[in-house]
């Protein structure tokens, strides 16, 4: 009898145990994949950052503003290609649970600095022509059922009152990792209102986004910007967009580390399940292994039987777990889109699933295989009956 056929026969001799082991591995791989996807989602903003964009903010804190007059001074610095600005609006749609990242932006330059926000030309023109117009990402528009032409009202928190906007565009991401949950409108619309209600807060921006001509010049341009405003009333800190995003991630680093630790614990659980199954299997078949040796089977034949059975069980559980990860991640991402605007299973996660399965397969089978290979025929025969 050929070894592959013998492995398959041994595999389902205890159907319940094999089935439960495969189910356990499936659940563990699914949990591991989701946890690793959470970690990837945490760094999604960092991964999507452009090497040609710099962020200039107030040196004290992001909550302090910068004068609009800085725009022209920054534009004159060598290496600056284009410049835009944003202002965190902090509006609420209907209730606090409907969190939407919403910004007042420089409408004329926003699509130059963020080419990954893809908007049809007609919608872009409509947005530029209407001072009360807004643009929303595809995911947030689908979530709330918004359509072009709808009036959307946000309740201001930083800027009190009800603010009405007309949806003129719905953008899509050019890449899989592009955030499609943002909402932005004309900074001029906000500024005109502030000139009437709070003149001291007018002509201010939250931060500048600076496009550089060459990524290699980023550090030089950043240093030049900060030197320009040194000893001013509003000194600046300029950093790459990636460093800016990492600053937010570092605030929750303890959570990220905890998730990573839990993902490792899941792998240890898989190993324990597989090791227990293979140990029981090898122990029950000691007499059979002894008889096989008397028939001429060598130690490596016995080892192949054990490793082969372990590999099939682990591979089946891994395949089912990976297959279940994608729909589970989609459902989780839709439910948690407020906190994870980009929640996609990365190929790196799949590779880690496969690598973890291989490690578990080898680690679980190596000791039972070694014991069975070293088994003396006389000792094995004593176990029969």
Tens-place pLDDT, residues 103-125: 999 999 999 999 999 999 999 99
The string over 84-123, giving b where at least 16 C-beta atoms fall within 10 Å of a residue's C-beta and e elsewhere, is bbbbebebbbeeeeeebbbbbbbbebbbebbebbbbeeeb
pLDDT at 314: 86
Give the pLDDT band (50/70/90) at residue 384.
low
Q: What is the average pLDDT value for the chain, to the nearest integer?
A: 86
Give the pLDDT band (50/70/90) at residue 369.
confident
- Confidence (pTM): 0.75
Give the pLDDT band (50/70/90) at residue 42.
confident
pLDDT at 380: 64
170-195: per-residue pLDDT in tens? 999 988 888 899 999 999 999 999 99
25-36: per-residue pLDDT in tens? 898 889 888 888
pLDDT at 270: 82
Most confident of 15-19, 61-65, 168-172: 168-172
pLDDT at 103: 94
Which residue did the predictor score with more confidence, 263 or 81? 81
Please say whether the beta carbons of 351 and 260 come within 8 A: no
Mean pLDDT (whole number) for 137-157: 93
Mean pLDDT (whole number) for 325-339: 82
Please say whether the beta carbons of 86 and 102 come within 8 A: no
Identify the weakest region by mean pLDDT among 201-215, 263-277, 341-355.
Answer: 263-277
Mean pLDDT (whole number) for 58-80: 92
Mean pLDDT (whole number) for 89-95: 91
Strand pairing partners for 167?
Answer: 134
| Cα–Cα distance, 89 to 160 (Å, whole number) | 10
Q: Which two tokens stand for residue 360?
A: 């578990």
| Cα–Cα distance, 117 to 110 (Å, whole number) | 9
Q: How many other CB atoms are found less than 10 A from the CB of residue 241?
A: 21
| Cα–Cα distance, 228 to 14 (Å, whole number) | 75
pLDDT of 298 > 80? The answer is: no
pLDDT at 383: 61
């Amino acid at each position: 009898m050929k070894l592959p056929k013998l492995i398959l026969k041994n595999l389902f001799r205890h159907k319940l145990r094999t089935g439960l082991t495969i189910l356990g591995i499936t659940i563990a791989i699914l949990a591991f994949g989701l946890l690793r996807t959470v970690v990837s989602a945490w760094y999604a903003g960092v991964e999507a950052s452009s090497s040609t964009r710099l962020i200039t903010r107030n040196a004290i804190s992001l909550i302090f503003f910068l004068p609009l007059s800085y725009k022209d001074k920054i534009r004159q610095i060598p290496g600056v290609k284009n410049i835009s600005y944003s202002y965190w609006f902090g509006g609420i749609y209907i209730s606090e649970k409907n969190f939407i990242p919403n910004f007042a932006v420089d409408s004329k330059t926003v699509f130059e600095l963020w080419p990954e926000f893809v908007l049809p030309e007609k919608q872009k023109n409509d947005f530029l022509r209407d001072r009360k117009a807004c643009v929303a990402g595809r995911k947030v528009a689908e979530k709330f059922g918004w359509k072009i032409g709808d009036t959307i009202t946000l309740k201001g928190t930083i800027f009190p009152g009800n603010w009405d906007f007309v949806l003129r565009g719905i953008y899509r991401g050019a890449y899989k990792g592009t955030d499609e949950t943002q909402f932005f409108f004309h900074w001029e619309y906000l500024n005109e209102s502030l000139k009437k209600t709070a003149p001291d807060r007018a002509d201010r921006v939250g931060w500048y986004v600076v496009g550089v001509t060459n990524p290699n010049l980023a550090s030089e341009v950043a240093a030049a910007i900060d030197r320009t405003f040194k000893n001013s009333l509003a000194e600046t800190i300029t950093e790459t967009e990636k460093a800016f995003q990492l600053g937010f991630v570092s605030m929750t680093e303890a959570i990220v580390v905890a998730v990573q630790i839990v993902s490792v614990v899941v792998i240890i659980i898989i190993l324990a399940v597989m090791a227990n199954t293979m140990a029981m299997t090898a122990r029950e078949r000691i007499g059979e292994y002894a008889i096989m040796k008397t028939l001429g089977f060598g130690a490596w034949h016995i080892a192949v039987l054990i490793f082969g059975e372990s590999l099939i069980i682990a591979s089946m559980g891994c395949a089912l777990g990976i297959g279940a990860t994608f729909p589970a991640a989609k459902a989780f991402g839709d439910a948690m889109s407020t906190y994870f605007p980009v929640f996609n299973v990365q190929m790196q996660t799949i590779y880690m699933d496969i690598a973890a399965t291989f490690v578990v397969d080898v680690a679980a089978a190596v000791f039972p295989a070694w014991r069975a290979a070293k088994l003396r025929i006389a000792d094995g025969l004593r176990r029969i009956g």
